[in-house]
Structure 1
Amino acid sequence: MSNTEPGTARWRRSLRWMALGALVMSGASCAALGRTTFKEPDVELREFAITGLGLTGGSVDVVLSVYNPNGYKLDALKMTYRVDVDSIKLGEGALDGRFIVPQKDSSIVRLPIRFTYAGLGAAGRALVMSGTVNYRVRGDFTVGTPLGNFTRPFDRRGRYSSVAGNGK
């Protein structure tokens, strides 16, 4: 009997290695398929909410609406962000708390930011004088999906109007 005939130990080992290789290749192709079918969430600024004021600065919550265009919920594991107002850095940070964005729906996310008056002066004057200010919110987020975890950047620019009370 040859070592490569059915029933031999060598044949069984070869069969196990082929099965393992097929499993690895199918897992890799599922991950690649997941990346091509994953649709980026849409991030939109909703409002700025001042949460504290002091002698040198204060704190503000930047409120975002995150829309999930996918046919499955997104389990947000982490989010980093930077907020600029009229090209001036307002603040940056990381949100390590998890939040869920249901399929084909939106969730509200609050990003806490501490700021100094020196860094916010020109943008604050523009908001007081005209009631509107340009903004940019950027960063990245990591979400868990049925297709695996994805870390993707986001970058949203717009004009915030305190008169209208929203970021459109």
Structure 2
Amino acid sequence: LGKATLLRVSDVLSLEYADLFTPEGVLKDRAYITDQKTGKPNTLYLKPLESDLMLYHDWLVEQEIDSPWLFPSTTTPNQHITRKQYYKIMTKTGDLIGINYLGTHTMRKTGAYRVYEQTNYNIGFVMNLLNHSDQKATLAYLGLDTVTKEAMLDTINFG
């Protein structure tokens, strides 16, 4: 969810079940939220996540988890999981798949960079998805510093 929506962890954790699903359990086409950090409105297009979200929905139903939160605490279902618990989940996932750098921000950065590459380096599109106001901030966020920029320039034929 974090990788496909490019949400900050605080926004992922604060998603409510009703943001994504109807009371009947039908996945909505879009979720409309407000980014916590910036206060900006954000529209999440959910179709690329349909199968994963429906599997997750079915798991919630199977486990009889009744909570307003999309990611409820297992100990206190009327609260969402904490950032610390999310970090532990990401670290454990990384350990299981042999990646030692998964953290709370990994999904947002990975998703942003994948969009950047797969849209032929459309920085404006990535900037919009990240809900950034400044292209320079988006470039820095993607890690496109001088070394990366020079490495990319080395591959271009200016012939």
When Rg is computed on C-alpha atoms for both structures, the one with the higher figure is 1
Q: Larger helix proportion, structure 1 or 2?
A: 2
TM-score, normalization by structure 2:
0.29
